[in-house]
Amino acid sequence: MSVSAVRRESAARSMLDFYATTIRTQIQTQFQYRVSLYMYTVGMVAEPVIYLVVWTTIARSQGGMVDGLTPGALAAYYIVWTLVRTMNIVFTPFGWEWRIREGELSGQLLRPLHPIHYDLASFAGQKVPWIVLYLPIGAALSLVFHPTLHPHALQVAVFLVAIWGAYVIRSLNQFSLGMVTFWTTRVGAIFQVWFLAELLLSGRLLPLPLMPHWSQTLANWLPFKYTFYFPIEALVGNMSTASLLGGLGMQLLWIGVGTAVMTGMWRLAVRRYSAVGN
Amino acid sequence: MLPGVPGVVHVSHLTKIFRVPERESGMSAALRSLFKRQWRDVHAVEDISFEIEAGEVVGFLGPNGAGKTTTLKMLSGLLYPTSGEGLVLGHVPSRREREYLRRMTLVMGNRNQLQWDLPALDSFELNRAIYRLPRDDFRRTRDELIELLDVGDLVRKPVRQLSLGERMKVEVVGSLLHLPAVLFLDEPTIGLDVTMQRRLRSFVAEYNRRHGATVLLTSHYMADVEALCKRVIVIHHGRILFDGRLDALADSFSTTKTIEAVLADGERITLRVPKAETSQATARLLAEHDVTDLTVEDPPIEDVIEQVFAAEVSA
């Protein structure tokens, strides 16, 4: 075949094909390292279990409740937290230095596809085995901590959409954050500030209603809440239909903002990329 | 080439200057650099111009740090030029238009773009999706490339279990699945044994012959260049020193000829004489000895290149 006569698939169909192929490839890769996969999943459970034990102890010492949250509600929050956390793990900004130094970025820049698609597709693929492993862990945690969880159909539906919304928001934000590496090489301190803000204002450390009022107000104006608290609360809380759909709308808004910031930064970052020796 | 119509690769006054921080060693210099950082401009590529026609295989030669890889990176869209113009297949590479990226490839001998834990066949599938290749075309090309490089067994093993040479071969297959019209090959045979080098060379030649692709190749192995390239561009300190036929390189730069003679008693004599004195030296040799065989050659191309760079350094 001549190089001038190469046929191409249509753009939309091939994008779906790319996502499906990458997801398949990542699932296969994850199964190459089964022991590390088990250990990783078990490690993931440690953080919420610590939070859960602490808050349950506090609730019991205060007569069975913390700010209206029962041990059962706290158990539901942190068990669902574990699944949401598993879902919103994305390529870390700390990895960008490696990505540039090892030449991986050069390889991605040579492809006729924005690298964000590879990140989105590959981490989505990695989640499949993680979720399969989460299911028995979630069941075991439920047996031990007795969560209060009675979601109705709309809550389940919103939750299933919201965990992917959270994943996309976090992917876009951390992709943009990682690109700071193009401007300064020692970016660890900047990332730490970002992650501290996320820890406190997302509902990751504790449910937002347990936070001071001013920080709850602040959280409403930032994307973090929509990557942890909103998906969890959609399933375990008592949100109205309007609040559920409004939350999805806010996720969509933050996806739009994240896409705009990421696209703008990418254009500038690529121009700065000097790639000496990579 | 038609007048006014640029070749497949058109480079005009291309320049790349890197601004790099620098400081003396020691604590006081480290403290000073906290407040006032010093910078130095590194002229990696300076005002180079050349054209490459469709189907040409051109060797891009130069010592380490000469500007070869920087040039290839500018032509493949990885680097923005500081000034000047690069045009490949009618595209400005730095714009990184998808249509352009689908028609070129950059193979770097020391880089791995395959999925480390999976057989290369899985990475090839990923490339099929990335380059939007119809499945039947993809399978045909893949099988053809696998056969050409004889890697049928290797593509089924996880990439991490392949040797450097084996990995390079499957890497090349992965880089060509989209049948690029332009190949930038940066040290494709680096670290490979002689057999692997030869195999890769004949593969590049065959790909060029079958698909009419244009190839710009850098290599420190002159055997690569001699086997593949009729034309070479020699670059040093970011500037082009020579652009022409490989066999003209020796004419332009070599100041000596090598005379080899076999005498009647079986003794072999090798003389390196100034070019201008070749005929005199040959005549004297024939007159004074009983010669059964005699050859007059340019010195090995490695020596010529070495002379070129040495002359540039001492200039």
* A3 close contact with B: CB closer than 8 A: yes
**Residues of chain A above pLDDT 70, percent:** 96
The residues, any chain, with a CB within 8 Å of residue B231's CB and separated by 6 or more, are: B56, B57, B58, B59, B243, B244, B245, B246
The CA distance from B202 to B227, in Å, is 8
- Segment A162-184 mean pLDDT: 94
Q: Which residues on chain B are in Cβ contact (under 8 Å) with A107?
A: 111, 113
Query: Phi, psi (5° rounding) for residue B71?
Result: -65, -45
ipTM: 0.82
Using pLDDT thresholds of 50, 70 and 90, give the confidence band for residue A265: very high
| Among B259, B258, B260, B243, CA closest to B300 | B258
pLDDT for B312: 60
B79-95, pLDDT tens digit by residue? Answer: 999 999 999 999 999 99
When mean pLDDT is compared across A119-128, B135-144, B255-264, the lowest value belongs to B255-264
Using pLDDT thresholds of 50, 70 and 90, give the confidence band for residue A275: low
| Among B248, B264, B252, B223, CA closest to B311 | B252
Domain ranges of chain A: 10-272
Highest mean pLDDT among B68-72, B110-114, B197-201: B68-72
The minimum CA-CA distance between B241 and chain A, rounded to whole Å, is 23
pLDDT for B1: 43
The CA distance from B113 to A12, in Å, is 25
- Segment B164-185 mean pLDDT: 92
**Residues of chain A above pLDDT 90, percent:** 51
The CA distance from B247 to B106, in Å, is 27
B23-70, pLDDT tens digit by residue? Answer: 777 777 777 776 777 788 889 999 999 999 999 999 999 888 889 999
* B33 close contact with A: CB closer than 8 A: no
| N-to-C CA span, chain B | 36
B70: Cα within 13 Å, side-chain hemisphere: 28
Question: What CA–CA distances, in Å, run from B275 to B244, B255, B278, B285, B289?
Answer: 20, 6, 5, 15, 21
The minimum CA-CA distance between B251 and chain A, rounded to whole Å, is 33
When mean pLDDT is compared across A75-79, A163-167, B186-190, the lowest value belongs to B186-190
| Among B91, B133, B112, B1, CA closest to B55 | B1
Q: Which residues on chain A are in Cβ contact (under 8 Å) with B160?
A: none
Please indicate whether, in this complex, the C-beta atoms of A273 and B79 are within 8 angstroms of each other: yes
- Which member of B76, B102, B140 has the closest CB to residue A112? B102
pLDDT for A276: 52
CB atoms within 10 A of CB A10: 9
* A275 close contact with B: CB closer than 8 A: yes
A194-234, pLDDT tens digit by residue? Answer: 999 999 999 998 899 889 999 999 999 999 999 999 999 99
- Which member of B76, B132, B212 has the closest CB to residue A3? B212
Please indicate whether, in this complex, the C-beta atoms of B108 and A271 are within 8 angstroms of each other: no
The residues, any chain, with a CB within 8 Å of residue A229's CB and separated by 6 or more, are: A202, A203, A207, A208, A219
Domain ranges of chain B: 9-26+37-250, 253-314
pLDDT for B5: 52
Q: Which helix (H) or strand (E) holds B83?
A: strand B83-88
Q: Which residues on chain A are in Cβ contact (under 8 Å) with B111?
A: 103, 106-107
Query: Is the pLDDT assigned to residue B2 strictly greater than 50?
Result: no
CATH class of B9-26+37-250: alpha beta
* B71 close contact with A: CB closer than 8 A: no
The CA distance from A50 to A39, in Å, is 17
More confident residue, B47 or B150: B47
More confident residue, A241 or B253: A241
What's the whole-number average pLDDT of chain A? 89
Please indicate whether, in this complex, the C-beta atoms of A7 and B102 are within 8 angstroms of each other: no
Q: Which residues on chain B are in Cβ contact (under 8 Å) with A18?
A: 126, 129-130
Using pLDDT thresholds of 50, 70 and 90, give the confidence band for residue A277: very low
Query: Is the pLDDT assigned to residue B241 strictly greater than 50?
Result: yes
* A35 close contact with B: CB closer than 8 A: no
